[in-house]
A and B are shown apart, each in its own frame.
Chain A
Amino acid sequence: MTEIKDIAIIFSAIILEAAPFLMLGSLIAAIIEIFISSDAIVKMIPKNKILATMAGLGLGFLIPVCDCAVIPVARKLLKKGVGINVGITFMLASPIINPIVLFSTLYAFYDVNMSVFWYRLLGGILVSMTVGIILSLLYKDKKILLDNEEESCKCGHNHFHSHDNHHHEGCNHHHGNSCHHHEESVCHHSNDIENRPSKFKAISDKIISILDHTVREFLGVFVFLILGALIASIVQVLLPQNIWDYFSSNSVLSITILMIFAYLISLCSTSDSFLGKSLLANFSEQSVLAFLILGPMIDVKNTIVLLGSYNKKFVISLISIIFITVFIYVLGGMIL
């Protein structure tokens, strides 16, 4: 019985902690959806693959979102037409190289082992870029996103909102609001030329439109977060005692074990540094580094969330390549 209560507590904590960030990610995705056209995004990204991947990295630094919030944002960018290398590099790098996580890592390791901070930063950059480029080569011209009905408006038009230069079919006017004011094929846009709304109405319509998209984005990911959090909390509570003792002495095996551990326990990237620091007592620096690089990039919770947006084959490739790349990076560092 105590186990059930512990699972419920850990599950609730993960949801309560992740929901605000998921909401933030959904809000950013909604703003991208409403205010930035696909053309504008594609124009912003350099044509050169390496430079484009670095642009993804830059986005990861500038948009301070954690591993939960980054998924809807990355999905939106990919839907808007950015390359896989850009979207995936952004998705993997952001939870490690954003300023909040850098700060917590610096704080945790400042007086213990600063090399962990630097190698985590470097690993976050190199691994995310490598995985992004490899996947863009493997999935060139292939569809990786699932068709998600939740994101589509049911107004009968095959596009959304408030960009400046488009028309609804059948309506001879521009509009500046969400399309959710349609009923059947009749248009009831509130900014009809004959019935121009007040400024206040226009702003409130815009806010409702943003909230509308935020709710859709949020729901599209939240159900998968629930499933992921459920699995993560069960693993956390039912993990046997002393399970890692047998592996900590073998350095190569301990790297693998801490990678699996990071994958299973699904910690937030802003808090894993403190656990990583305590793991230094029993595990090698390289193992802890693997734990700190892999965990924010992929875990059980995010795997389930990703499966709700990307096709299964792509998710399996993504997880496998992340594991292999992190392992090679850490092992390479050990040999050097």
Chain B
Amino acid sequence: MKEKLLGIYFIIMGLMIYILYFVGYLNNFLASKMIVFSLITGVIFLISGILILCNKIRNITLKKDSLLLIVPVIMIFVAGNGELSLELAKKRANNLALTGVSSTQSFTDTESDVVLNNNEEVLYELNDSNYVITLNKLYENIDNIEGSKIIIRGFTIKDTSVITAGYFIIGKYIVSCCVADAGVVGILVKEELISVNDNEWYEIEGVINVIEDNTGSKTIAITPTTIESIESENMYVYQTYAFLQGDYN
């Protein structure tokens, strides 16, 4: 009987992975590159469950600690759509530093240097597919981008010790493998025009300036021209291996 329960458990785990995938939530737990591994595991769970139910795999001893197996099933239900709270983003920004704000990213690329040649007419419009790569490019070319225009959407982080006084951050969670390693990637915005709220979603259009952050290093900041409150959207962007993608823009 216990073995049959184990077989059913394996089938439930396999099905849960596929349900998360088909409703689009698996992307909120894992980076895209990890999803294929998860789907393969789902198949192995399903096959193993069926083999256990068919008595092809048997004599598996279940001990008291096997009760822990139920925890992932409960937790996946509690996790719901897999969207972390924005309160946690502030904590992450403090404890894990800010990926985009406090350090430069990725490989330099001569092609991108050519593109960024102090052209004030350049407009950087960030979306989910180019969010990380564009921010990387901006931080890498910090000396050449002053005066460029930018449009960015994301959630706000205010009132933390890592932010220069008079500024707030607009950004998103950046995920490398799974949300357990999520940090915050974003950009400083000068607090003017209107007073924005903490942990809310905005679209900001503005001009890029180079300033000194509170550690004395050069960083980029937006002087906003328009700030618009928007509905919450996908809060995750993913770490990409830009130089493998060929197209850096």
Interface residues of B in 56-102 (CB under 8 A from A): 56-61, 63, 65-66, 68-69, 71-72, 75-76, 78-80, 82-85, 87-88, 90-91, 94-99, 102
Contact with A along B97-126 (1 / 0, CB 8 A): 111001111111000000000000000000
A334 interface hit (Cβ, 8 Å): no
A139 interface hit (Cβ, 8 Å): no
Say yes or no: A271 contacts B181, CB within 8 Å: yes
A282→B94 CA distance, assembly (Å): 10
Number of residues from B at the complex interface, CB < 8 A: 72
- B91 — nearest CB in chain A belongs to which residue? A241
One of B172-180, B187-195, B204-212 contacting the partner: B172-180
Known: A4-B78, A8-B78, A107-B241. A271 touches B177 (CB 8 A): yes
Contacts of B245 in A (CB 8 A): none
- A233 — nearest CB in chain B belongs to which residue? B180
A233→B75 CA distance, assembly (Å): 11
Say yes or no: B38 contacts A20, CB within 8 Å: yes
Say yes or no: A17 contacts B30, CB within 8 Å: yes
Say yes or no: A16 contacts B96, CB within 8 Å: no
A110 interface hit (Cβ, 8 Å): yes
Interface residues of A in 237-277 (CB under 8 A from B): 237, 239, 241-245, 265-268, 270-272, 274-275, 277
B129 interface hit (Cβ, 8 Å): no
Say yes or no: A281 contacts B34, CB within 8 Å: no
Say yes or no: B180 contacts A17, CB within 8 Å: yes
Contacts of A233 in B (CB 8 A): 180
Contacts of A155 in B (CB 8 A): 59
Known: A111-B106, A274-B239, A278-B183. A5 touches B90 (CB 8 A): no
A180 interface hit (Cβ, 8 Å): yes
A162→B85 CA distance, assembly (Å): 52
Say yes or no: B85 contacts A5, CB within 8 Å: yes
- B49 — nearest CB in chain A belongs to which residue? A215
Interface residues of B in 18-59 (CB under 8 A from A): 20, 26, 28-30, 34, 37-38, 40-41, 44, 47-48, 51-52, 56-59
A13 interface hit (Cβ, 8 Å): yes
- A282 — nearest CB in chain B belongs to which residue? B97
Contacts of B60 in A (CB 8 A): 150, 215-216, 219
Contacts of B37 in A (CB 8 A): 20-21
Say yes or no: A226 contacts B88, CB within 8 Å: no
Say yes or no: B177 contacts A270, CB within 8 Å: yes
B20 to chain A, nearest CB (A): 8
Say yes or no: A236 contacts B180, CB within 8 Å: yes
Known: A8-B75, A215-B52, A270-B177. A16 touches B103 (CB 8 A): no
Contacts of B138 in A (CB 8 A): none
Partner of B79 from the list A8, A180, A214, A219 (CB cut-off 8 Å) is A8
Say yes or no: B107 contacts A107, CB within 8 Å: yes
Say yes or no: A2 contacts B87, CB within 8 Å: yes
A211 interface hit (Cβ, 8 Å): yes
Say yes or no: B180 contacts A226, CB within 8 Å: no
The list of the 3 closest CB pairs from A to B, nearest first, reads: A20-B37, A281-B102, A8-B78
In addition to A6-B84, A216-B60, 4 A-B residue pairs with Cβ atoms within 8 Å of each other are A111-B106, A212-B51, A212-B56, A241-B94
- 23 A-B residue pairs with Cβ-Cβ distance under 8 Å, sorted by A, are A9-B28, A10-B179, A16-B34, A17-B29, A17-B34, A20-B37, A23-B41, A110-B106, A111-B104, A150-B63, A212-B56, A215-B60, A223-B65, A233-B180, A237-B88, A242-B94, A245-B161, A268-B178, A271-B176, A274-B176, A275-B183, A281-B97, A282-B102
Chain B interfacial positions (CB closer than 8 Å to A): 6, 10, 17, 20, 26, 28-30, 34, 37-38, 40-41, 44, 47-48, 51-52, 56-61, 63, 65-66, 68-69, 71-72, 75-76, 78-80, 82-85, 87-88, 90-91, 94-99, 102-108, 140, 160-161, 174, 176-181, 183, 215, 217, 239, 241
